[in-house]
């Protein structure tokens, strides 16, 4: 124990690394526990969708269905026209994501690279609008779209806003990302005689792909999560989106929980599929582009 | 300094600069329209419509501050609605920030299957919110729901999560916290930008894990904490989906959130002027919270390279 000074120092260092290793293991176990907790609701919803109504009300409940009744889905689909709702939702989401990403890129490029009068004024207005709650403007926009333009019960009021820059945050994100690309690249292209638009599409766009994917995802999630605006603008059942269709289905059935859980799982499905396809670029893209300031 | 100077060079009206400006205006047409017609214009409109009585398809007529007087003196829902909205926001925002920061710290460790764990915590964010609230309502069910079963295991009797007016808001806030995958990822991005040298220096000085968290990680993260706090607050003060998809403002009026109240007046009973007054109150409420946050931010946000 009490020898000379040098070994003491190494033991204390070793002890510290021992503790940090123990800490890492405890943290990892905590992470596994939290993973289970976070996934439990999704599992429970899924497992409930595969049971008979009788099994659903057994106490204590089964964690696994005794028989996996995928036929529940076929029955649910008879009253819950999921594919129609899905198609309707895509009619809104696909053009919005395309237009939103494109116009956000154009605006972000102008703010990042081009010089013009009133730039800081418009940029401040743009950033300021991030603080503006969008629910506040619902009523005037509703009056404008339905009474001004006669677009009630169509998807246009939901799509057209994305022709206008796709939201301030997305413009800001693209701008921040473009600013990390060395200007020398565009200057070289300018010397070679490329115009601003060619620089944007041939040099900038390939370099900011991760940020554009993130913007596309954000617009997707925004529309995917929205219920209020869809409820306000869409009235006829044949035009319902997944979100409206599901909440109508739920309030119509009251307590047929097996069917409701089937419909809920169906509504989960497209998001999960899209996420699995693009998972890497989504999370990595956000981590990469996130907060480059 | 010199960098900033060199950026400001040559703003002259050469043909090249004129062309550049023209291209910029073309690129920005969408943003110009978006900001005027879809953002600031409607904000002004909501302020003006709030002074009118406008029922359904009839012509609006000016009534001054009558809508606001009615809101604060006669409306049976409004004052409680403010309380409920703020209460929900506080629970959801505080819960989200703590939960997200802890998860982000855990995900930032050198762990096996990192991609898998990140995906797990991000997943709830990409599920449609309406479906999430409906799905969770089954877990919250009083007699056969999962949560009451789990509570029974530790000796707690059945709790009426969504049908007890004092528990409905906290129950919904838990769902909102569960949905915060996006905040986690932004925190994660921030944690990866904390310069490794700071940690190494602290470690050499003998700082333990907790000290490093409070004296290195947390100060470096304050700008991102501020950003997330701001966005989370703005989102949650506008909460409407749980009421719309699930509770319809009940039980009692315990989940009558302001935006939901606005929706009911505007689209169920066609009182556009009165509902606009509520919209404007939502705007003022969020502006007040935002202002307080900005005002206090200078005292706790740490900027790399000095506080000025």
Q: Which residue has the tokens 């954000």?
A: A218
Residue A250: closest CA among B135, B251, B139: B135
Q: For residue A51, give both structure tokens.
A: 């049971």
Interchain CB distance below 8 Å, A106 and B27 = yes
Chain A nearest-CA residue for B203: A16
How far apart CA B252 and CA B268 sit, in angstroms, is: 18
List, for residues A43-77, the tens digit of each pLDDT value: 999 999 999 888 888 878 888 988 888 989 998 89
How far apart CA A166 and CA B30 sit, in angstroms, is: 9
End-to-end CA distance of chain A: 51
CA atoms within 13 A on the CB side of B47: 8
Supply the pLDDT for residue A17.
63
Q: Is any Cβ of chain B less than 8 angstroms from the Cβ of A234?
A: no
Q: Is any Cβ of chain B less than 8 angstroms from the Cβ of A56?
A: yes
Phi, psi (degrees; rounded to nearest 5) at A252? -75, -35
Is the backbone peptide bond immediately before A196 cis, with ω within 30 degrees of 0? Answer: no
Q: Is any Cβ of chain A less than 8 angstroms from the Cβ of B292?
A: no
Chain B nearest-CA residue for A140: B42
How far apart CA B69 and CA B72 sit, in angstroms, is: 5
Report the complex ipTM: 0.86
Supply the pLDDT for residue A200.
87
CB < 8 Å & 24+ apart, contacts of A223-227:
A223/A89, A223/A92, A223/A93, A223/A96, A223/A158, A224/A89, A224/A93, A224/A271, A224/B126, A224/B128, A225/B128, A225/B129, A225/B130, A225/B241, A226/A158, A227/B129, A227/B130, A227/B240, A227/B241, A227/B244, A227/B245
Phi, psi (degrees; rounded to nearest 5) at A124? -65, -45
Is the backbone peptide bond immediately before A76 cis, with ω within 30 degrees of 0? Answer: no
Interchain CB distance below 8 Å, B30 and A48 = no
Contacts with B160 (C-beta within 8 Å, 6 or more apart), sequence order? B142, B167
In chain B, helix, strand, coil percent, each to 5? Answer: 70, 0, 25
Question: What's the whole-number mean pLDDT along residues A167-181?
Answer: 86
Rg (chain A; Cα; Å): 26
For chain B of 308 residues, list the mean pLDDT of each consecutive stretch of 10: 44 72 89 90 94 86 91 93 96 96 89 84 91 93 88 88 91 94 88 81 80 83 90 93 89 93 93 94 94 88 59
How far apart CA A4 and CA A11 sit, in angstroms, is: 12
Window 83-112 of A: residues touching B by CB (8 A cutoff) are 103, 106-107, 109-111
pTM over 0.90: no
Say whether pLDDT at A6 is over 80. no
How far apart CA A88 and CA A92 sit, in angstroms, is: 7
Q: Is any Cβ of chain A less than 8 angstroms from the Cβ of B230?
A: yes
Q: Which residues pair with B271 in a beta bridge?
A: B55
B78 min Cα distance to partner chain A (Å): 16
List, for residues A102-157, the tens digit of each pLDDT value: 999 999 999 998 888 889 999 999 988 888 888 999 999 999 999 999 998 999 99
Q: Is any Cβ of chain A less than 8 angstroms from the Cβ of B117?
A: yes
How far apart CA A45 and CA A258 sit, in angstroms, is: 9
Rama region for B10: left / alpha / beta (φ>0; ψ in -120 to 50; rest): left
Residue A48 near residue A261 (C-beta atoms within 8 A): yes
Contacts with A80 (C-beta within 8 Å, 6 or more apart), sequence order? A245, A246, A249, A259, A262, A263, A266
Nearest to A242 among B31, B128, B182 (CB): B128
Say whether pLDDT at A2 is over 60. no
């Amino acid at each position: 124990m009490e020898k000379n000074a040098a070994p003491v120092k190494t033991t204390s260092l070793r002890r510290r690394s021992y503790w940090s290793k123990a800490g890492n293991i405890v943290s990892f176990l905590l992470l596994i526990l939290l993973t289970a907790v976070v996934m439990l609701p999704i599992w429970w919803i899924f497992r409930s969708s595969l049971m008979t109504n009788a099994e659903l009300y057994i106490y204590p409940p089964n964690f696994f269905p005794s028989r996996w009744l995928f036929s529940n889905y076929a029955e649910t689909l008879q009253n819950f026209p999921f594919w129609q709702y899905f198609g309707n939702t895509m009619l809104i989401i696909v053009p919005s994501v395309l237009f939103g990403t494109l116009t956000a890129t154009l605006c972000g490029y102008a703010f990042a690279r081009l010089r013009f009068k009133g730039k800081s004024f418009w940029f401040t207005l743009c950033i300021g609008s991030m603080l503006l709650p969008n629910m506040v403007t619902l009523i005037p926009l509703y009056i404008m779209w339905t009474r001004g333009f006669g677009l009630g019960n169509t998807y246009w009021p939901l799509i057209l806003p994305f022709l206008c820059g796709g939201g301030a945050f997305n413009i800001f994100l693209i701008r921040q990302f473009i600013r990390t690309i060395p200007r020398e690249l565009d200057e070289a292209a300018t010397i070679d005689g490329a115009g601003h638009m060619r620089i944007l599409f041939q040099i900038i766009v390939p370099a900011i792909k991760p940020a554009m994917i993130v913007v596309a995802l954000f617009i997707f999630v925004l529309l995917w999560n929205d219920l209020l605006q869809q409820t306000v603008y869409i009235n006829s059942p044949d035009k319902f989106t997944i979100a409206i269709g599901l909440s109508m289905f739920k309030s119509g059935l009251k307590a047929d929980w097996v069917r409701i859980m089937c419909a809920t799982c169906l509504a989960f499905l497209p998001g999960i599929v899209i996420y699995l396809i693009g998972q890497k670029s989504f999370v990595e893209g956000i981590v990469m582009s996130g907060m480059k300031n | 300094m010199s960098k900033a100077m060199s950026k400001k060079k040559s703003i002259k009206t050469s043909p090249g600069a004129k062309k550049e400006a023209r291209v910029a205006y073309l690129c920005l047409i969408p943003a110009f329209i978006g900001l005027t017609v879809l953002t600031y214009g409607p904000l002004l409109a909501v302020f003006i419509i709030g002074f009118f009585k406008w029922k359904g398809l009839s012509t609006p007529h000016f009534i001054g501050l009558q809508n606001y007087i009615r809101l604060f003196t006669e409306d049976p829902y409004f004052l409680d609605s403010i309380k409920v909205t703020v209460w929900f926001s506080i629970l959801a925002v505080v819960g989200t920030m703590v939960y997200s920061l802890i998860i982000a710290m855990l995900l930032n460790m050198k762990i096996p299957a990192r991609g898998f764990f990140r995906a797990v915590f991000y997943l709830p964010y990409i599920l449609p919110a309406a479906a999430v609230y409906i799905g969770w309502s089954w877990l919250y069910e009083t007699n056969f729901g999962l949560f009451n079963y789990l509570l029974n295991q530790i000796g707690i009797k059945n709790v009426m999560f969504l049908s007890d007016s004092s528990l409905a808001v906290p129950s919904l806030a838990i769902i909102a916290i569960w949905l915060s995958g996006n905040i986690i990822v932004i925190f994660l991005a921030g944690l990866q930008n904390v310069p490794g040298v700071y940690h190494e220096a602290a470690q050499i000085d003998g700082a333990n894990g907790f000290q490093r968290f409070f004296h290195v990680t947390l100060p470096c993260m304050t700008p991102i904490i501020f950003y997330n706090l701001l966005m989370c607050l703005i989102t949650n003060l506008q909460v409407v989906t749980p009421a719309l998809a699930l509770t319809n403002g009940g039980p009692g009026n315990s989940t009558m959130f302001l935006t939901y109240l606005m929706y009911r007046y505007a689209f169920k009973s066609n009182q556009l002027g009165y509902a606009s007054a509520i919209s404007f109150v939502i705007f003022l409420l969020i502006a007040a919270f935002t202002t307080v946050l900005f005002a206090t931010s200078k005292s706790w946000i740490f900027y790399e390279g000095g506080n000025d």
